[in-house]
């Protein structure tokens, strides 16, 4: 199913204009990203400020007035820029390279890792675990082929590299032909090795790598065969995407269009204002007339499924179908609204254990397509389905 990707300004809640990237399938939103201030992907020369065993981590200053939280589990093959303390353990005052992995959420500090990453066409380099692996979503044959490509390039360049790297083959790797994949890997390996080699010459709090523009990072998720066109009315964005040869395939860039019609705004052409603003409504209707109600609280999200009709005499397979339709919409709404943490879903009650088990399997299949890690854990004795989704960015309800 072909997708149309639109990058333009939308009006949120009537008086708040914000740049967004919207992905449309059959005129329905399937993905959405807003232009938000983020540090995720930035790499800094940080100074360890406080060791907090009670929090299983430490705080690292990345500026004189800004600190990030580095969990112990994210201290992986740390690259030390300046070691001022004695011994091999990291201590306060030592300077290390850290990458921001999660923005601040409410009162919590941003999270960081010492496992640094560098993206290319269909792969990610990491500074931890010097091995070549592939996304579990790739077929074995494709994964083995691209791992072989990566091994060939890495082994050839290894004598010239001063640092070791791990290579993760991404799901979109098959978008790129062999020559394009290998050329990008060779270029990014060289760039990353030089950047790390020069890091020791940078002052504390230096940002040695800035994350790619959010819309380009977003586009790397897509295969060019899945996209019909990318259209924007922004000159600067059109130019940046046109020049993003390091990250985007030439086939995908070729689908970029500049919208120049002054008689009709791009957002109006695709009805984006209404589509986006619907995501702030609690009630979402399904084609069957059934509906779901989404309630977000500070600790969790509650979702209630209602048939919307007087269905006392309906058979259970009818309610099972409504629940399956609702599950598909819930998975879509979770992704579009960027809901994370604990999610409890109250589906229409099913007496059949077989239907209940099938519904759980159906939701798990749906959540596997989410780029953010999400899973349906179980259905409680009270009939509530428990879903968890990793927290990476703020939900859209907190952005406006």
pLDDT in tens, 162-186: 999 999 999 888 888 899 999 999 9
Q: What digits encode the pLDDT tens for the residues 281-307?
A: 999 999 888 999 999 988 899 999 998
34-38, 60-64, 231-235, 278-282: which range is least confident on average?
A: 34-38
Whole-prediction pTM:
0.80
Find the mean pLDDT for residues 362-389. 92
Q: Which residues contact 103 (CB under 8 A, 6 or more apart)?
A: 38, 39, 40, 110, 393, 394
Structure tokens, 324: 């399956």
What structural domains does the chain harbor? 3-36+214-274 (3.30.420), 43-113 (2.40.50.140), 117-209 (3.30.230.10), 282-398 (3.40.630)
Tens of pLDDT, residue by residue over 245-285, are 888 888 899 999 999 999 999 999 999 999 999 999 999 99
Q: Average pLDDT of 383-392?
A: 91
Give the pLDDT score at 104. Answer: 86
What pLDDT score does 313 carry? 60
DSSP reduced 3-state for 75? coil
Q: Spell out the alpha helix ranges (H) of the chain.
A: 140-157, 178-198, 214-219, 235-242, 250-253, 266-269, 272-277, 316-337, 353-367
d(CA 252, CA 262): 26
Tokens at residue 132, please? Answer: 């070549």
Give the C-alpha separation, 294 to 302, whole Å: 6
Average pLDDT, the chain: 92
Can you spell out the DSSP letters for 295-347?
Answer: EE-SS-EEEEEE--S--TT--HHHHHHHHHHHHHHHHHHHHHHT--EEEEEEP
């Amino acid at each position: 199913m072909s997708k149309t990707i639109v990058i333009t300004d939308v009006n949120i809640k009537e008086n708040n204009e914000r740049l967004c990237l919207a992905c449309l399938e059959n005129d329905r939103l399937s993905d959405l990203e807003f232009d938000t201030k983020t540090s995720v992907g930035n790499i800094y020369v940080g100074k360890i400020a406080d060791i907090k065993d009670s929090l299983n981590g430490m705080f690292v200053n990345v500026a004189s007035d800004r600190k990030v939280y580095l969990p112990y589990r994210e201290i992986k093959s740390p690259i030390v820029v300046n070691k001022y303390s004695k011994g091999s353990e990291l201590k306060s005052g030592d300077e290390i390279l850290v990458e921001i992995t999660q923005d601040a959420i409410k009162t919590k500090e941003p999270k960081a890792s010492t496992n640094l990453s560098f993206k290319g066409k269909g792969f990610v380099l990491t500074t931890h675990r010097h091995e070549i692996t592939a996304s579990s979503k790739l077929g074995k044959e494709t994964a083995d082929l691209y791992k072989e490509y990566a091994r060939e390039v890495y082994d050839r360049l290894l004598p010239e590299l001063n640092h070791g790297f791990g290579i993760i083959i991404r799901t979109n790797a098959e978008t790129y032909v062999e020559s394009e994949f290998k050329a990008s890997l060779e270029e990014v390996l060289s760039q990353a090795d030089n950047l790390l080699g020069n890091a020791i010459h940078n002052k504390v709090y230096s940002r040695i790598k800035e994350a790619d523009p959010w819309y380009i990072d977003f586009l790397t998720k897509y295969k060019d065969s899945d996209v019909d066109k990318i259209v924007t009315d922004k000159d600067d964005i059109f130019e940046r995407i046109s020049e993003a040869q390091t990250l985007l395939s030439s086939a995908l860039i070729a689908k970029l269009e500049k919208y120049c019609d002054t008689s009709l705004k791009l957002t109006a052409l695709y009805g984006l204002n209404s589509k986006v603003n619907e995501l702030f409504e609690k009630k979402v209707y399904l084609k069957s007339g059934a509906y779901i109600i989404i309630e977000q609280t500070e600790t969790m999200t509650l979702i209630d499924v209602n048939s919307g009709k007087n269905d006392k005499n309906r058979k259970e397979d009818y309610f099972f179908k409504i629940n399956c339709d609702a599950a598909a919409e819930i998975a879509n709404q979770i992704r579009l609204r960027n809901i994370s943490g604990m999610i409890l879903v109250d589906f229409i009650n099913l007496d059949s254990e077989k239907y209940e088990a099938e519904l759980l399997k159906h939701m798990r299949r749906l959540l596997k397509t989410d780029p953010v890690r999400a899973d349906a854990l179980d259905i409680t004795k009270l009939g509530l389905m428990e879903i968890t989704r990793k927290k990476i960015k703020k939900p859209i309800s907190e952005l406006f």
